[in-house]
Chains A and B, each alone.
Chain A
Amino acid sequence: MTDVAAAGARGRLGWLMAAFALLATAIALYLGIIKLTGGNPACGVLHGCDTVSQSEYAEILGIPTGLFGAAASAVTLAGSLLWWLRADRRGLLLAYVVGLLSLPILVGLTYLELFVIEAICIWCVTYAVVVVAGWLTATWALWRGGQAAR
Chain B
Amino acid sequence: MSTNDNPTPASDGPTRKQRRAAARASRKTSGSGGASGSAPGGPRSGPSMLVVSVAAIAIGLVAVVAFIVLAGGSSSTETDAVSMPDTAAAPADLRQGRTLVAPDAVDPVVVEAFEDPQCPACGLFTRRIEPLMIAEYVADGTVSFTYHDFVFLGDESWDGAMAMRVAEDMDGKFWDFHNVLFHNQSGENEGAFSRDRLADMAELVGLDRDEFLSKLDDPAYRAAVAASNADGSQRGVSSTPTIFMDGEPIVGVPQWDDLRARIEEAKAA
Q: In this complex, what residue of A is CB-closest to B128?
A: A54
B74 touches A56 (CB 8 A): yes
B13 part of interface (Cβ distance < 8 Å): no
For residue A105, which residues in chain B have a CB less than 8 angstroms away from its CB?
Answer: 60, 63-64, 67
B52 part of interface (Cβ distance < 8 Å): yes
Please report the C-alpha to C-alpha distance between residue A116 and residue B75 in the assembled complex, in whole angstroms: 12
A60 touches B70 (CB 8 A): yes
A56 touches B30 (CB 8 A): no
B222 part of interface (Cβ distance < 8 Å): no
Please report the C-alpha to C-alpha distance between residue A150 and residue B67 in the assembled complex, in whole angstroms: 41
For residue A92, which residues in chain B have a CB less than 8 angstroms away from its CB?
Answer: 40
For residue B219, which residues in chain A have a CB less than 8 angstroms away from its CB?
Answer: none
Q: In this complex, what residue of A is CB-closest to B45?
A: A146
Given the known interface contacts A88-B35, A145-B42, A149-B42, the answer about A103 and B57 at a Cβ–Cβ threshold of 8 Å is yes
The 3 A-B pairs with the shortest beta carbon distances in the complex, nearest first, are A146-B41, A108-B64, A89-B35
Give the number of chain B interface residues (Cβ < 8 Å): 47
B71 touches A59 (CB 8 A): yes
| Chain B nearest CB, measured from A144 CB (Å) | 8
State which residues 61-110 of A face B: CB under 8 Å: 61, 65, 86-90, 92-93, 96-98, 100-105, 107-109
Please report the C-alpha to C-alpha distance between residue A37 and residue B169 in the assembled complex, in whole angstroms: 40
Q: In this complex, what residue of A is CB-closest to B239?
A: A47
Given the known interface contacts A10-B31, A56-B74, A118-B120, the answer about A100 and B57 at a Cβ–Cβ threshold of 8 Å is yes
B183 part of interface (Cβ distance < 8 Å): no
A148 touches B40 (CB 8 A): no
B40 touches A57 (CB 8 A): no
Please report the C-alpha to C-alpha distance between residue A143 and residue B65 in the assembled complex, in whole angstroms: 30
A150 touches B43 (CB 8 A): yes
Please report the C-alpha to C-alpha distance between residue A47 and residue B252 in the assembled complex, in whole angstroms: 6
Q: In this complex, what residue of A is CB-closest to B119?
A: A51
Please report the C-alpha to C-alpha distance between residue A34 and residue B66 in the assembled complex, in whole angstroms: 24
B3 part of interface (Cβ distance < 8 Å): no
B60 touches A101 (CB 8 A): yes
**Which of A61, A86, A96, A149 has a CB less than 8 Å from the CB of B33?**
A86
| Chain B nearest CB, measured from A123 CB (Å) | 15
B43 touches A47 (CB 8 A): no
Q: Which residues of B contact A (CB under 8 A)?
A: 23, 26-27, 29-36, 39-43, 45, 49, 52-53, 56-57, 59-61, 63-65, 67-68, 70-72, 74-75, 120-121, 123-124, 128, 187-188, 239, 251-253, 255
A19 part of interface (Cβ distance < 8 Å): no
| Chain B nearest CB, measured from A70 CB (Å) | 15
Given the known interface contacts A87-B31, A105-B63, the answer about A54 and B43 at a Cβ–Cβ threshold of 8 Å is no
A55 part of interface (Cβ distance < 8 Å): yes
For residue B255, which residues in chain A have a CB less than 8 angstroms away from its CB?
Answer: 39-40, 42
Please report the C-alpha to C-alpha distance between residue A104 and residue B35 in the assembled complex, in whole angstroms: 27
Please report the C-alpha to C-alpha distance between residue A3 and residue B33 in the assembled complex, in whole angstroms: 12
| Chain B nearest CB, measured from A134 CB (Å) | 14
B30 touches A6 (CB 8 A): yes
For residue B26, which residues in chain A have a CB less than 8 angstroms away from its CB?
Answer: 149
For residue B121, which residues in chain A have a CB less than 8 angstroms away from its CB?
Answer: 47, 50-51, 119
| Chain A nearest CB, measured from B121 CB (Å) | 5
Given the known interface contacts A54-B124, A57-B71, A118-B188, the answer about A146 and B35 at a Cβ–Cβ threshold of 8 Å is no
For residue B30, which residues in chain A have a CB less than 8 angstroms away from its CB?
Answer: 1, 3, 6, 145, 148-149
| Chain B nearest CB, measured from A141 CB (Å) | 9
